[in-house]
Amino acid sequence: TGTLTASIAHEFNNLLTPIMGYSILTLEGLPEEYSDLADNVAEIYEASRKAKAIISRLNSLSRRNAEESFRPLDLPTLVSKALSVAAPAMPPNVTPCVKNEAGELWVSGSETQLSQLLLNLILNAYQAMEATGGTLTLTLREQEGQALVLVEDTGSGIPADVIGRIFDPFYTTKESGRGTGLGLAIVRQVAESHHGEISVASILGKGTIFTLCLPSVSPAIAA
């Protein structure tokens, strides 16, 4: 349930609402002799209603779990672990590089969710460089009480007409079978649930930089 975000739940509800509405309209317009068809439409409505209820419960549970599981986390260690987990997916012509400009850097959050966020960004970068090769650079900085992680690839870049939509649920530029369009939507929701934000900048033919910004906590709080 940690990956069921508010934005994704909203998208599902947008799909279910017209299904429920048109089901009611169809039921009201069916002649009495079409009782079997009316029963089928009623089942569609009831299944949609139950789906909306389930989405609502899971979304509430996701928020509660996120709040309850927050604890101090060593951000450089999280980055290193995410790189290790992603290693099997690294193209042979790609070189990873970590630049820790902050030294010790702590944030408060869910280890599972932040690890998934970092893993998604790393895997996206690897896929962007599959054809051309290149360098993945993860830079850690601390700036005005904020912990920054810059995930930079030297891939083909993101077109200007696409970049504004890449965090939207279910939007994907990957070919069929290679992506659901949920990865970056989840990245944004996890960042926001940790009182942070994620931004992106890209130049066609040169690469892309995702910047994760989270509130940092002091080593004393972390201890």
pLDDT digits (tens, 9 = 90+) for 157-193: 988 888 888 887 654 555 433 443 447 888 888 899 8
* pLDDT at 4 (0 to 100): 47
Q: Which long-range contacts (CB under 8 A, 24 or more apart) does 33-40 make?
A: none
Phi and psi, residue 222, nearest 5°: -60, -35
Per-residue pLDDT reduced to its tens digit, 47-67: 888 887 777 766 665 665 555
Q: How far is CA 11 from CA 120, 157, 171, 173, 183, in A?
A: 21, 27, 11, 18, 15
The single-letter code of the amino acid at 92 is: P
Instruction: Return the number of other C-beta atoms located less than 10 Å from residue 58's C-beta.
Output: 14
Q: Assess contact for 135 and 94: CB atoms under 8 A.
A: yes
The SS3 call for residue 155 is coil
**Model confidence, pTM:** 0.68
Query: Could you give the 3-state DSSP secondary structure of residue 209?
Result: strand
The tokens 């009611």 sit on which residue? 24
Give me the pLDDT at residue 176, please.
38
- Mean pLDDT across the chain: 83
HEC profile of the chain: CCCCCHHHHHHHHHHHHHHHHHHHHHHHHCCCCCHHHHHHHHHHHHHHHHHHHHHHHHHHHHHHHHHHCCEEEEHHHHHHHHHHHHHHHCCCCEEEEEEECCCCCEEEECHHHHHHHHHHHHHHHHHHCCCCCEEEEEEEEEECCEEEEEEEECCCCCCHHHHCCCCCCCCCCCCCCCCCCCHHHHHHHHHHHCCCEEEEEEECCCEEEEEEEEEEECHHHHC
The tokens describing 198, both together, are 């994620």
Asked if 151 and 204 touch (Cβ cutoff 8 Å), the reply is: no
Higher-pLDDT residue of 58 and 94 is 94
pLDDT, position 178: 40
State which amino acid sits at residue 82. A
